[in-house]
Amino acid sequence: MILELWMVGVVIALLLLIRVPVGLAFLGPSLWWALADGTSSGFALKTTFDGLNSFPLLAVPLFILVGVMANRLGIADRLYEFCLAALGRVRGNLAYVNVGSAVGFSWMSGSALADVAGLGKMQIPQMVKAGYPFSFAAGLTASSSLISPVMPPSIPAVIYAATATVSTGALFAASVVPAFIMAAGLCAYIFIWTARRRDLSTVPFDRRRFVRAAIGAIGPGLTPVILLGGILSGTFTPTEAASVAVLFMLVLGVFYRSLNVRVLLQSLRETAVITGGIALILGAAALLGLILTRAHVSRDVAEFLTSVSDSPVVFMILVNLILLVLGALIDATAIILVTVPVLLPIATDLGVDPIYFGVVMIINLMIGLLTPPVGSVLYITSSVTGRPVDQVFRGVAPFLIPLVAVLVLITAFPDLALWLPGLLGF
Amino acid sequence: MTGEPVPVTSDPPAAGTEPARRREPAALRAWASVELAIACAALVLIFVSVLWQVVSRFVPALNWPGVSELAGYSLIALTFIMVGYLIGNNGHITIQIIDYVAKGRALVVVRAVSAVCTAVICALLVWEAYALIRAFPSRRTAALGIPIWILYTFPLLGFASGAVRAVVRIFYANRDDVVFDAAEAR
Amino acid sequence: AGCTTQNNTAPTAGENPQLTIKIGSSQPESQPNFYCGMQLLKERVEGQNLNLTLDLFPNSQLGPDAERFAGVQAGDIDIDLQGGSAMSTAFPKIGVLDAAYAFDDIDHFFKWVDSNGKDFFTEFNAATDTTIVDAWYFGMRTFTTTAPIRKPEDLARLKIRFPNTPQFLANAKALGANAVAIALEELYLALQQGVAQGQENPVVATHAQKFDEILKVASLTNHQVGTHYVVVSDKTLDKMSQAQKDALFKAIHDIRAENRKCVDDETEKVIDGWRGDKSRTVVEIDQVDRAAFIAKAEAYFNTYYKGADLELYKSIRATAA
Ligand code: NA
Ligand code: NA
């Protein structure tokens, strides 16, 4: 049985290598294994189908739609302008603005892809014009986009919560402090880097521009207030909040007069296309997960991992290493769906909190978005700037130091994640 | 992402600069716009249904057990109906590592083998969809009472479309891939 | 797995095919239906050396209820523990057994199953290609809320989460409840933030899912007998020898009584814990205006059900005490 599963893994790897779409590369060999295992014909597709039938997953297309509309309706631009007006005098201001607007945008967007696609196109050319090397501008933009999927709302968090059957709200709350620590880590790196760059231009603080930008950012700034306020007051649940966020984007679009039928239709098309690509992987990963469950792989891995050590610290180090390797090779969503059923029962047996485990896992896998060969953020950055992927990665590489440092910090101090949910009574 | 076309990357290997010339046959392009329209309609249904659930808690008259089921099946319909579209437009998430190694003729062979594998997998899934349609003739969804076999026609159509697209790609293997930009989806 | 399929010629005791039986359930391992149900079944059946191995998948590991039942129909899952409403997608009539106050209590339910079950389950088998061997007790469904429920008017004042299936929502209407739809995954948070002010479940399930961390008032309305049918795929039965089937069926029947005692003990233990907790209120069975609820439910279902469903409902009510 195990031998056959290894073969499934090898065939999946071969299919991925020759550029078969990830979802189909998962589905084909899994289907073959299921038939060989004696399941009914239709089992593979039915499992994929059922895997998509989960209410919390509905937040995925809705939060993608929010990010897409924020870009198309000029709402992301307003946040950028506000940050720039506020930090004009600071040396390296555009770099801090980059992080600041990523934090602002992260309250609306649940995925790094929407963030880097929207902000990257605008910010990287501006930074290059202001004298920053391309590698630094691209590396920073790619890295700061990772704040989006960590800060709530977060699509990976929604997927983790559904897979691990933990409270989405608790996981959201646990992600807030780590997201700010990520931003702080990037700012620290910028501070060190700009200390040696006296040539970077600054603009004097312009009070009128600041006031104008601040007024312009009031609408976008209300988004997190409405979402978190609505969730905490019991008006709607985190999944439902995604639909309220879409509604609010529509309202802002009408208010700013940037909404028209063409923009709306193109937003729907873009979202449908992105969702279709991601969701097929979600469904296929559900099939892979059920196959692993039926073969009791989680039990076998658990026996192996506990035979190595029964210390939660050693376990978390092993998990981080395994995930960093997997994150370089496989899409983050697929990893969550396939590994959570295997790793989480072991984690809880060792007394590791499932919420904290989720936060560590998400940060870890988001770092994987920056590493080749499978690094969606790298590819998008390359595609919006028209520069080769390896140039982008050369820019990203130094930023892996602060990001991994943050990961180590959160892993070593669970309270950084668990403090806020505890405070909120989750 | 406003409106202008996205510049093409030079590495992975340069893609065509005139995408229009390299697109699929006209019949498939027409079918693609139908697929995209269905997916967009499903997306609107997801949005309206989830919002409806929020509103109905405050306006009990609107309470209707069908909404969450409608939203869930809309996501399923969207996912499967987009399979063919994404294969045809080079829009699926793939791992492009081999492009660093295989160049020229080697890359053409890789593209052809990849398209063959994709076609075979899609064909198998069409067969699975057909098996499901036959296996559950009387089962209905819990709240809306939709016969479940109707829902299995979405994967049937999507994977059939994907298989056709993949076969077309076998013959197009000597052409460079057009870089797909979701923002420009038609 | 190297098994011989027999149609009419049952193999003799000596030729028992080597089979691994996958058993699914929604219940976590901490629950009576696992440790006093699935686990016992595994020990007893495997102990008879009939070449049967039972592979347990508790805690919805094989998927949600309705999807798992479709898996039993297809033969991908051999045995599952299922409530009636999840199976009503394939056989609508079984939903009637879940009607609020259709059965007085679990004794009434078991009495009905033992005298009418045979015909009913045969009809079920013809429609679904699965065999219900017996039913195990899950617990009486009761309300846990933010305010006490003694009479129908109390219920109307609160937003209560019911499972999102037609029969459960009909139960809400029958009892006069203000039902709200919330996915199970989001229920804990929704209760905490006040999206809903209560939910209904058997006491053991309420406690296992930690809803009682938030909801401090339990009203023992006992409005519905919760049971799990032990349902076996006919595709699996076709592969089994008569000796294997006999052993399996006997074990399932034998466990029914032991399982019930386990559920009762665990339920009593949880309620005693609530009673002893100063921050909680337990509205006892005799403090609930049961007659008012039953009258309301009966009036509703007598017009809600039609045809064969109505006939079934009436025949059940006719045997009530
Ligand atoms: Na976010
Ligand atoms: Na990666």
Find the ligand nearest to A151 CA: 1
- By Cβ distance, the residue of C73, C88, C181 closest to B68 is C181
Residue in chain C lying closest to B56 (CA): C180
A178 pLDDT more than 70 = yes
Show residues of chain B in contact with C89, CB under 8 Å.
139-142, 148
Tell me the CA distances in angstroms from B96 to A376, A379, B86, B107, C68, one per residue in order: 11, 10, 16, 11, 37
**What are the phi and psi torsion angles at B178 (to 5°)?**
-80, 130
Most confident residue range from A164-178, A226-240, C163-177: C163-177
Coil/strand/helix, residue A171? helix
Mean pLDDT check: name the lowest of A47-56, C10-19, C271-280: C10-19
A63 pLDDT more than 70 = yes
With contact defined as beta carbons under 8 Å apart, do A269 and B36 qualify? Answer: yes
Show residues of chain C in contact with B135, CB under 8 Å.
73-74
Render B156-174 in DSSP notation, one character per residue: HHHHHHHHHHHHHHHHTTT
- Please, what is the angle between helix A59-72 and helix A155-164, to 10°? 180
Q: What is the DSSP letter of C99?
A: S
- Half-sphere exposure (Cβ direction) of A147: Cα atoms closer than 13 Å: 27
Coil/strand/helix, residue C161? strand
Q: Which chains touch A (3 or more CB pairs under 8 A)?
A: B, C
Q: What are the structure tokens assigned to C221, written together?
A: 């309305």
**CA-based nearest distance A231→chain C, Å:** 7
With contact defined as beta carbons under 8 Å apart, do B172 and B108 qualify? Answer: no
Q: What are the structure tokens assigned to C233, written together?
A: 């795929």
- By Cβ distance, the residue of A47, A162, A237 closest to C189 is A237
With contact defined as beta carbons under 8 Å apart, do C296 and C176 qualify? Answer: yes
CA pair distance A21, B119, nearest whole angstrom = 11
Q: What is the DSSP letter of A58?
A: G
pLDDT category at C14 given cuts 50, 70, 90 is low
Which residue blocks in A295-311 are alpha helix, DSSP H?
297-308
Residue in chain A lying closest to C23 (CA): A294
Q: Confirm whether B146 is domain-assigned.
A: yes
A425 pLDDT more than 80 = no
B9 pLDDT more than 70 = no
Find the ligand nearest to A364 CA: 2
Residue in chain C lying closest to A168 (CA): C186
Show residues of chain B in contact with A269, CB under 8 Å.
36, 40, 185-186
With contact defined as beta carbons under 8 Å apart, do C260 and C225 qualify? Answer: no
Q: What is the pLDDT of residue A302?
A: 67
Q: What value does the mean pLDDT take over residues A382-409?
A: 88
With contact defined as beta carbons under 8 Å apart, do A76 and A105 qualify? Answer: yes
Residue environment code for A227-245, b if the CB has 16+ CB neighbours within 10 A, otherwise e: bbebbeebbbbbbbbbbbb
From A418, A297, A416, select the one nearest A354 (Cα to Cα): A418
Q: What is the pLDDT of residue A158?
A: 78
Q: Confirm whether B137 is domain-assigned.
A: yes
Neighbours of ion ligand 2 (CB under 5 A): A 328, 368, 371, 374-375
**What are the phi and psi torsion angles at B40 (to 5°)?**
-65, -40
Q: What is the pLDDT of residue B184?
A: 80
Give the Å distance between the CA of A389 and the centre of ligand 2: 12
- By Cβ distance, the residue of A20, A46, A118 closest to B132 is A46
Q: For all residues of chain B together, what is the average pLDDT?
A: 85
A&B contacts, CB < 8 Å: 230
Q: What is the pLDDT of residue A373?
A: 65
Chain mean position to CA C158 = 25
CA pair distance C45, C240, nearest whole angstrom = 13
Q: What value does the mean pLDDT take over residues A24-45?
A: 93
Burial class (CB in 10 A: 0-12, 13-18, 19+), A398: middle
pLDDT category at B3 given cuts 50, 70, 90 is very low
Q: State whether the Cα torsion A381-A384-A385-A391 is positive or negative.
A: positive
Q: What is the pLDDT of residues B21-52, one digit of tens each?
A: 456 788 999 999 999 999 999 999 999 999 99
Q: Confirm whether B70 is domain-assigned.
A: yes
Q: Which chains touch C (3 or more CB pairs under 8 A)?
A: A, B
pLDDT category at C246 given cuts 50, 70, 90 is very high
Instruction: Give the helix/strand (H/E) hosting A335.
Output: helix A332-349
Q: Confirm whether B12 is domain-assigned.
A: no
Give the Å distance between the CA of A176 and the centre of ligand 1: 9
Interface pTM, i.e. ipTM: 0.88
Q: What are the structure tokens assigned to C58, written together?
A: 């508790």
Q: What is the pLDDT of residue B21?
A: 47
Q: What is the pLDDT of residues B47-82, one digit of tens each?
A: 999 999 999 888 888 888 789 899 999 999 999 999
Beta-ladder partners of C81: C230
Q: Confirm whether B36 is domain-assigned.
A: yes
Q: What is the pLDDT of residue A113?
A: 73
Show residues of chain B in contact with C127, CB under 8 Å.
138
CA pair distance C243, C24, nearest whole angstrom = 23
Show residues of chain C in contact with B138, CB under 8 Å.
90, 127
CA pair distance C293, C297, nearest whole angstrom = 6
Q: What is the pLDDT of residue B61?
A: 86
Residue in chain C lying closest to A169 (CA): C189
Q: What is the pLDDT of residue C5?
A: 42
**CA-based nearest distance B4→chain A, Å:** 11
Residue whose pair of structure tokens reads 């295992």 in the numeric block: A37
- Is residue B69 less than 8 Å (CB to CB) from chain C? yes
With contact defined as beta carbons under 8 Å apart, do A149 and A327 qualify? Answer: no
- Is residue B96 less than 8 Å (CB to CB) from chain A? yes
From A23, A42, C75, A27, select the one nearest B129 (Cα to Cα): A42
Burial class (CB in 10 A: 0-12, 13-18, 19+), A2: exposed
**What are the phi and psi torsion angles at C320 (to 5°)?**
-70, 155
Domain count, chain B: 1
- Is residue C75 less than 8 Å (CB to CB) from chain A? yes
Q: Confirm whether B2 is domain-assigned.
A: no
Q: Confirm whether B15 is domain-assigned.
A: no
pLDDT category at C7 given cuts 50, 70, 90 is very low
Find the ligand nearest to A324 CA: 2
Which residue blocks in C5-157 are alpha helix, DSSP H?
32-33, 39-46, 65-74, 84-87, 106-128, 152-156
Q: What is the pLDDT of residues A77-128, one digit of tens each?
A: 888 788 888 877 777 888 898 898 889 878 877 778 767 776 777 788 888 8
Geometric angle at alpha carbon B136, from C20 and A24, rounded to 5°: 75
- By Cβ distance, the residue of B44, B75, B125 closest to A279 is B75
Q: What are the structure tokens assigned to C97, written together?
A: 């057994």
Q: What are the structure tokens assigned to A391, written together?
A: 């140039």
Tell me the CA distances in angstroms from A424 to A169, A170, A356, A418, C38, one per residue in order: 10, 9, 15, 10, 38
With contact defined as beta carbons under 8 Å apart, do A261 and A310 qualify? Answer: no
Geometric angle at alpha carbon C94, from C92 and C95, rounded to 5°: 75
Q: What are the structure tokens assigned to A156, written together?
A: 């990976």
Find the ligand nearest to A63 CA: 1
Q: Specify the pTM.
A: 0.85
- By Cβ distance, the residue of B39, B83, B117 closest to A18 is B117
* Largest Cα span, chain B: 65
B11 pLDDT more than 50 = no
Render A80-125 in DSSP notation, one character per residue: HHHHHHHHTTSTTHHHHHHHHHHHHHHTT-S-HHHHHHHHHHHHHH
Q: The domain containing residue B85 runs over which residues?
A: 25-178
Q: What is the pLDDT of residue C8?
A: 46
Q: What is the pLDDT of residue A157?
A: 87
C304 pLDDT more than 70 = yes
Q: What is the pLDDT of residue A374?
A: 66
Q: Confirm whether B155 is domain-assigned.
A: yes
Q: What are the structure tokens assigned to A398, written together?
A: 């130094």
